Structure 1
Amino acid sequence: MARQRTVTDSVVVAVPPAAVYALVADPTRTPGWSPENRGARTDRPGPLPVGAVFTGLNERRGVRWVTECVVTAADPGARFAFRVRAIGGARRRLRARIASWEHRLEPVELPGGGAGTRVTQTWTDERTMPDAVARVFDAVATRGPFADFQRRNLAESLQRLRAVLEA
């Protein structure tokens, strides 16, 4: 069976899209809600433009790794996306298509009035390895199909993001 390559989840937050964008488009702020991200390094503060490159610092179950990412969409108040184009240790990185991440922001009216945002986060597996190899890797890395792991990861991430935004 072919592996599931895309996982999407959404949450409605009680803040306008511009406030959500200011947070999600600044990778240095991601540790505030991500279950795995422990930081990011960029050459500029604040929301990043298309083409900007940043390094993500990540950890899962005591295993640490870095990613090199490039911003692929930066539409203030509407969409922020990036592609992971390298992964590995601090010095050696495998350059390959790994994954892409996207935040879409849609203005919504909250019950009782007020501006809110539907935040839709999407992860897409861009690994080119055969499905059989991916299943073995996924069993080691996430104890099952990567898509199942990411489904839980996205749900937790979005709930934490809501808490940060509405605090």
Structure 2
Amino acid sequence: MKRTAQVSDSMIINVDADTLWAQVADPTQMPRWSPENIGAHTPAESRPLQVGEVFEGSNHRSRAQWVTECVVTASEPGRRFAFQVRRIGAGSPVISADIATWVYDFEDVGGRTRITETWNDDRSAWPDWVAAIIDRVLTGGSSFADFQRRNIHWTLTTMKDEFELTS
């Protein structure tokens, strides 16, 4: 069975697209919403990153922790922020590999914003059966697509709750 290589979800949040984009385009803010991300180290002070800038993300799942190296591939104020995960490791990102691409699209809907978060599985060189076994081990029994579908919904719901509580 061919694996799902892309998962996305959308939510409308009662905040303008520029404000929401500025927060998402600063990876140091992601631990506020993500169930896995616990921090990010950026090349300069906390701010929206631009195309080509590299940052490290710290993540955890259960007792496992890892660090990723990511490069920003899109950074359009109020419209899009995207990055590619290109290295990974336990203490530092030492293993180079095509891992994933994350995309956040922002659409103005009358002063509110439809944010769409998309995860792309970049492990296209991996045979589906190998990915399926590894996915089930690393996620506790599900595919990465199903796992990321839940994570994306969690992230967007947490964003909505936070932004609408403060607006």
TM-score (norm. length: structure 1): 0.94
Deviation at 1:92, TM superposition (A): 5.6
Structure 1 segment 12-23 matched on structure 2, within 5 A: 12-23=12-23
Is structure 2 residue 80 aligned with structure 1 residue 79? yes
Is structure 2 residue 35 aligned with structure 1 residue 39? no
Is structure 2 residue 134 aligned with structure 1 residue 161? no
Q: Secondary structure at the match of 1:151?
A: helix
Shift of the 47–165 alpha-carbon distance from structure 1 to 2, 3 Å rule, reads same
| 2: CA distance, partners of 1:92 / 1:75 | 27
CA shift digits 1:14-37 (9 cap, x unpaired): 000001011100000000000000
Match of 2:134 in 1: 137
TM-score (norm. length: structure 2): 0.94
Deviation at 1:119, TM superposition (A): 0.2
Q: What RMSD over aligned residues (CA atoms) do the two structures have, in Å?
A: 0.9
| 2: CA distance, partners of 1:50 / 1:57 | 20
| 1: CA distance, partners of 2:26 / 2:119 | 17
Shift of the 92–123 alpha-carbon distance from structure 1 to 2, 3 Å rule, reads closer
CA shift digits 1:118-145 (9 cap, x unpaired): 0000000001211110011001011211
Structure 1 segment 100-139 matched on structure 2, within 5 A: 100-109=101-110, 115-127=111-123, 128-139=125-136
| 1: CA distance, partners of 2:40 / 2:93 | 17
Q: Secondary structure at the match of 1:20?
A: helix
Name structure 2 gaps, 5 residues minimum. none
| 2: CA distance, partners of 1:23 / 1:92 | 24
Shift of the 12–35 alpha-carbon distance from structure 1 to 2, 3 Å rule, reads same
Deviation at 1:43, TM superposition (A): 1.4
Q: Secondary structure at the match of 1:148?
A: helix
Deviation at 1:91, TM superposition (A): 3.8
Is structure 2 residue 95 aligned with structure 1 residue 94? yes
Deviation at 1:164, TM superposition (A): 2.0
Over 6 Å off, 4+ runs: none
Deviation at 1:161, TM superposition (A): 1.1
| 2: CA distance, partners of 1:166 / 1:49 | 27
Q: Secondary structure at the match of 1:153?
A: helix
Shift of the 122–92 alpha-carbon distance from structure 1 to 2, 3 Å rule, reads closer
Match of 1:152 in 2: 150
Q: Secondary structure at the match of 1:50?
A: coil
Q: Work out the number of aligned pairs and report it.
A: 162
